[in-house]
Amino acid sequence: MVYNCHTVMNAVAQSGCEPVFVDVNDDLKLDLDDLQRKSEAMKAFVVTHLFGIVNDIGAIRKRCPQLVVIEDCAHAFGKPIEGDFGVYSIGPGKLPSLGDGGILVVNNNDYLNNIKSIYEQLTAYSRKNERKLFAKLLLMHWANSPCFYGWLTMSLKRMRRQPSGRETIVMKKMSQGVQAMLGLRKESINGMISQRKYNAQKEMERLRGNPLVTKVMIGQNAFMLPVLSSDPKALKEQYKRHDVETATHFANSMSWAYEFGYQDDCPNAEKLVGMLLVVPVY
């Protein structure tokens, strides 16, 4: 899917494959017709459930039964995996946001032994690096607190370098400390999702009468609230006046795609990039 994160495009390239980009519809789901047209050039397909908006894996399999299906659930924690593989993220800003790593679900036993072998070869965190990681997580918690965020953290975020081109990926086993936190937070995650859904529904109702809003969507876990707008800059200013920070999520997706060989064949994604604003609901 061309409307996507640089991380996904880079991972495909770093695996030794050439990305084939597929368009999305106005509901931010995969364009199945475009996938079918391009599937002969593909061996596997990464389907991203953008903002928790779930794609129909059964329909993908029916249209393209020859493809290995990899579900990118970085925005869709908790979605049952129906493809051959699924990946959840628990990195910064995700749900849950634990600061490091992700979870790979292998749903096809043909690949299981090979995946286990690769995992066992990965480097584990040393005690020193565990301490460094938790110092970093503590600093991030401090930086995102209300007393510092508005005047310091937002400025630092604007200075952050955007990813570009093909970047080396270094894989390692998840931190033992983060694994422990994931186990402790397991019971509270469903409550977090329910609260986000409630907040998203209330915000959707509030936006219904806004003339700048074209469409609002809620994903299965309400990771964020994506809003299509005729003037996203003006809508962003409306939120800013109420001290709410919004984002043009994946605003650079098309320029990233060009770096990985995009051929101007996903016109709807190009349109949506200029219309989308993402509103926090936590």
| Predicted local distance difference test score (pLDDT) of residue 51 | 95
β-pairing verdict for 225-229 and 213-216: antiparallel
Per residue in 177-187, pLDDT (tens digit) is 999 988 888 78
Which two tokens mark 202?
A: 């209330």
| Model confidence at 58: pLDDT above 80 | yes
Which of 71-85, 179-193, 220-234, 265-279 is predicted least confidently? 179-193
Looking at residue 222, what DSSP letter applies?
-
Per residue in 153-167, pLDDT (tens digit) is 777 777 777 788 888
Question: What end-to-end distance do the CA atoms of the chain give, in Å?
Answer: 27
Q: Which domains does the chain have, with CATH numbers?
A: 6-121 (3.40.640.10)
| Predicted local distance difference test score (pLDDT) of residue 140 | 87
| Predicted local distance difference test score (pLDDT) of residue 185 | 82
Q: How far apart are CA 281 and CA 205, in angstroms?
A: 13
What is the average pLDDT across 226-240? 96
Per residue in 191-200, pLDDT (tens digit) is 999 999 999 9
Q: Which of 81, 10, 73, 245 is nearest to 151 (CA)?
A: 245
What is the average pLDDT across 200-219? 95
| Predicted local distance difference test score (pLDDT) of residue 116 | 96
Which two tokens mark 109?
A: 């036993």
Query: Percentage of the chain surpassing pLDDT 90?
Result: 78
| Predicted local distance difference test score (pLDDT) of residue 152 | 76
Other C-beta atoms closer than 10 Å to the C-beta of 162 total 9
Contact 258, 21 (CB under 8 A): no
Per residue in 1-22, pLDDT (tens digit) is 999 999 999 999 999 999 999 9
Contact 193, 222 (CB under 8 A): yes
| Predicted local distance difference test score (pLDDT) of residue 271 | 96
- Residue 82 CB burial class (10 angstroms; 0-12, 13-18, ≥19): middle
**Whole-number mean pLDDT of the chain?**
93
